């Protein structure tokens, strides 16, 4: 593939944008650099992310800050057991003409019509409401009252789940989990980071955030990622990794047949390549390599692979299984 001069300039601009991105977001969000890097990769890949972590780890602040420095609109949806699909997508209102008394329907857009949507505690709402969000994520459009409304581009959903409180929740089915590019585990800050958080959040002064790019720039970057060339051996490696998670396949390692109930589908291979492209571009490289693919295996596959009863009985974590798989396939 021929890379144009314009694309090379965009690639250089994207690499510089990453540095500005971490400088600006670091004024407000302390630590979590790996999480932020993965979220930026998902944004560039037109993917969505599921963030798993206990309350109070600045998930809302993270997305608000992200929207501010990228010049994107932001909406937060608090998922509760009584939330209806129309509370997400929007509802039809009746308008009455004051002169003629004639009635007409008008669609009032819901919070899904934003560039960045925070779906807080997505597992606290029934499957019907979850499906309304997940359909919009998949199709990038909303259908209401017989009309179809396209969502504005770029469109990115960051959904959160609390891993501790499971009472009264509605776990996302595997088919719906598959629509998320990344499953990111957000951990507690280190002692040093927590000291910095306390210092920064207990003073009156607030850091001014600078917008580093706009919507048009981000859409251009997303299109650039699709153009990044990938060598055949890197694509083959990604497919080998994903197919090796399927215990029914002859090529699957013996320990996978014992440790995994079922493996990942083709969407995982697609996201591994898209993510590797975005990671390479952010690092200033014109094409991804096998290491770029390997670096994204855990966040892309952890929610697509189901451990067997034997693995759980032995206390094996899915991350340990995937790390061993990467070692075997890469050798």
pLDDT in tens, 267-280: 999 999 999 999 99
What's phi and psi for 241, nearest 5 deg? Answer: -60, -45
Cis status, amide bond into 309, omega within 30 of 0: no
pLDDT in tens, 70-125: 989 999 999 999 999 989 998 888 888 777 877 777 788 899 999 999 999 998 99
Tell whether the model's pLDDT for residue 173 goes beyond 80: no
Q: Is residue 69 within 8 Å of 218, Cβ to Cβ? A: no
Q: How many domains does the chain have?
A: 2
Report the CATH number that the domain containing residue 283 is assigned in CATH: 1.10.8.80
pLDDT in tens, 279-291: 999 998 889 999 9
Q: Which two tokens stand for residue 223?
A: 């299109």
**Final residue in a domain of this structure, among 183, 217, 251:** 217
The pLDDT score that the predictor gives to residue 189 is 84
Res. 3 pLDDT band, cuts 50 70 90: low
Say whether both 57 and 137 belong to one domain: yes
Say whether both 198 and 234 belong to one domain: no
Q: Where are the alpha helices (DSSP H) in 117-188?
A: 127-139, 174-177
Say whether both 245 and 145 belong to one domain: no
The pLDDT score that the predictor gives to residue 29 is 85
The pLDDT score that the predictor gives to residue 181 is 95
Identify the domain containing residue 241 by its residue range.
229-330
The pLDDT score that the predictor gives to residue 1 is 44
């Amino acid at each position: 593939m021929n890379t144009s001069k314009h694309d090379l300039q965009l690639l250089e601009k994207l690499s510089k944008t990453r540095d500005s991105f971490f400088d600006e977001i670091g004024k407000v969000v302390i630590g979590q650099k790996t999480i932020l890097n993965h979220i930026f990769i998902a944004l560039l890949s037109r993917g969505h992310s599921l963030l798993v972590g206990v309350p109070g780890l600045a998930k809302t602040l993270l997305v608000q800050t992200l929207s501010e420095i990228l010049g994107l609109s932001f909406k937060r949806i608090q998922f509760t057991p009584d939330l209806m699909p129309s509370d997400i997508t929007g509802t039809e209102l009746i308008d009455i003409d004051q002169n003629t008394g004639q009635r007409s329907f008008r669609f009032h857009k819901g919070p899904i019509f934003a560039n960045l949507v925070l779906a807080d505690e997505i597992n606290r709402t029934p499957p019907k409401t979850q499906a309304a969000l997940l359909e919009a994520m998949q199709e990038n459009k909303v259908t209401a009252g017989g009309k179809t409304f396209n969502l504005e581009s770029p469109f990115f959903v960051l959904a959160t789940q609390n891993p501790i409180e499971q009472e009264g929740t509605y776990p996302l089915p595997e088919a719906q989990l598959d629509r998320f590019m990344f499953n990111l585990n957000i951990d507690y800050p280190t002692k040093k980071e927590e000291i910095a958080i306390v210092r920064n959040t207990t003073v009156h002064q607030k850091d001014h955030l600078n917008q580093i790019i706009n919507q048009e720039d981000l859409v251009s970057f997303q299109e650039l990622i699709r153009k990044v060339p990938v060598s055949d051996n890197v694509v083959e490696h990604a497919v080998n990794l994903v197919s090796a998670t399927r215990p029914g396949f002859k090529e699957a390692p013996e320990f996978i047949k014992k440790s995994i109930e079922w493996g990942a589908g083709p969407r995982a291979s697609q996201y591994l390549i898209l993510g590797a492209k975005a990671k390479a571009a952010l690092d200033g490289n014109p094409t991804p390599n096998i290491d770029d693919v390997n670096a994204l295996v855990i966040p892309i596959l952890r929610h697509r692979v189901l451990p067997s009863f034997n693995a759980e009985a032995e206390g094996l974590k899915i991350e340990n299984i995937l790390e061993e798989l990467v070692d075997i396939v890469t050798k």
